Amino acid sequence: MKVIVIGAGAAGLMAAGQAAAAGAGVTVLEKNENSGKKLLITGKGRCNITNAEEMPRFIEYIPGNGQFLYSGLARFSNVDLIHFFNELGLQTKVERGGRVFPVSDRAADVVETLVNYCRSNGVEFTYSAQVDQIRVEGGQVVSVRLKDGREFSCDAVVLATGGASYPGTGSTGDGYRIAKELGHTIVPLKPALVPLEAGEEWVRELQGLSLKNVEVAAERNGKTVVSDFGEMLFTHFGVSGPIILTISRSLIGPLAKGEKILLKINLKPALTPEQLDLRIQRDFAKYLNKEFRNSLNDLLPKSLIPVIVSLSGIPADKPVHQITREERLKIAELLQGLIMTITGNRPLKEAIVTAGGVSVKEINPKTMESKIVRGLYLAGEVVDVDGYTGGFNLQAAFSMGYTAGRSAAGE
């Protein structure tokens, strides 16, 4: 079997290596000058390869057509993936939230391990290769043609071109065009995990501040739409970080319709309102003769203090011993309900993951083969599957790539 893999990302590299290991002659066509360009920036350059969550709960963290992955995850699970990397000499570790990283904390080691695995099985790489079209005769894939006119004949093609986010890494949506030309339905694209923009000026003043162990709830018409607990980050446009990215998926639709979304941050979710009030009273007793602005150092990060002081409406220079009970309760309320207005989301090109893509209804989940074109297999972000942050999307890509590669090789 001659197999062409289009794209040298997570899904493509896994597909190529597995197809070659199963006995196929494999060529990878990659538009960049090297492999794994997007993989290198995942997990802040550390590469969160998967999550240790047990099956079948794992599927719950893939809200975008997670059920489609039942077969793929059964065939190549997170446990299998960890074993795969460990066998190849890449040791892994599990961090908070079940996130799995290489012990080295280097995404480059993940890419190198995958490329070496491919090469050891005889995979050939052709870089700076921009695909123009997949040629089909009699409903069967016959070749792949590049924009420079070169043509590669084949028995099967794995389309693993990635999504449309982070176009600087090469994922510019080419795969959608190619699949559409072959008769596939493309579910409209939208950002899945994406930072959010806020209206308040104080949010921008906190640029660079990272908060851990906070609870965030998004409200629409006074009702909570979605909430999460963990880490977030203030930016020059609004908010980002793991929990913001996760909740963003539920807010894209309402924001597109112009609906008003309020984000409520609980800075002290481990305390009841009564416990927090007692904590503030203790701090006030300690700083009894100080000004209000100098009494919150034990309670808050330094950059957040002026914001809370301002929002409380209490004069910054008011002596602590003059603060009333009502004012103190107002502070506690602010700390457990810091509210900002979400005005929109960042564009698709800044999203971590693309939602939408080739319809899963047109792909056989057991083989990843197209139901429209024989010999065409699809894997990774080009398929309409998306999960939450935490390693779920990369596992989906690896499982689809494994299945596509093995199937394309004729297993």
**Beta-bridge partner residues of 358:** 186, 383
Please, are residues 246 and 388 in contact by the beta-carbon 8 Å criterion? yes
CATH superfamily of 2-191+354-408: FAD/NAD(P)-binding domain (3.50.50.60)
Cβ neighbours of residue 383 closer than 8 Å, sequence gap 6 or more: 68, 357, 358, 360, 363, 400
Please, are residues 194 and 248 in contact by the beta-carbon 8 Å criterion? yes
Looking only at the bridges linking them, the beta strands covering 140-146 and 238-240 are: unpaired
| Backbone phi and psi for residue 228, each to the nearest 5 degrees, phi listed first | -155, 165
Nearest CA among 380, 372, 373 for reference residue 354: 380
- Euclidean distance between CA atoms 36 and 397, whole angstroms: 13
Domain ranges of the chain: 2-191+354-408, 195-267+339-345, 273-336
Please, are residues 107 and 44 in contact by the beta-carbon 8 Å criterion? no
CATH top-level class of 273-336: mainly alpha
Cβ neighbours of residue 202 closer than 8 Å, sequence gap 6 or more: 307, 310, 311
pLDDT tens string, the chain, 411 residues long: the values are: 999 999 999 999 999 999 999 999 999 999 999 999 999 999 989 999 999 999 989 999 999 999 999 999 999 999 999 999 999 999 999 999 999 999 999 999 999 999 999 999 999 999 999 999 999 999 999 999 999 999 999 999 999 999 988 888 888 899 999 999 999 999 999 999 999 999 999 999 999 999 999 999 999 999 999 999 999 999 999 999 999 999 999 999 999 999 999 999 999 999 999 999 999 999 999 999 999 999 999 999 999 999 999 999 999 999 999 999 999 999 999 999 999 999 999 999 999 999 999 999 999 999 999 999 999 999 999 999 999 999 999 999 999 999 999 999 998
What pLDDT is attached to residue 362? 98
* Side chain identity, residue 116: N
Both tokens of 267, joined, read 């800075």
What pLDDT is attached to residue 168? 85
Q: For helices 273-286 and 325-335, what crossing angle results, to 10°?
A: 120
Residue 57: count of CB within 10 angstroms of its CB: 9
Both tokens of 378, joined, read 């699809």
- Euclidean distance between CA atoms 157 and 144, whole angstroms: 8
Cis-peptide into 56, omega within 30 deg: yes
Within its chain, how far is the Cα of 232 from the centroid? 14
Cβ neighbours of residue 283 closer than 8 Å, sequence gap 6 or more: 295, 296, 298, 299
What pLDDT is attached to residue 255? 96
Q: Does domain 195-267+339-345 have CATH number 3.30.530?
A: no
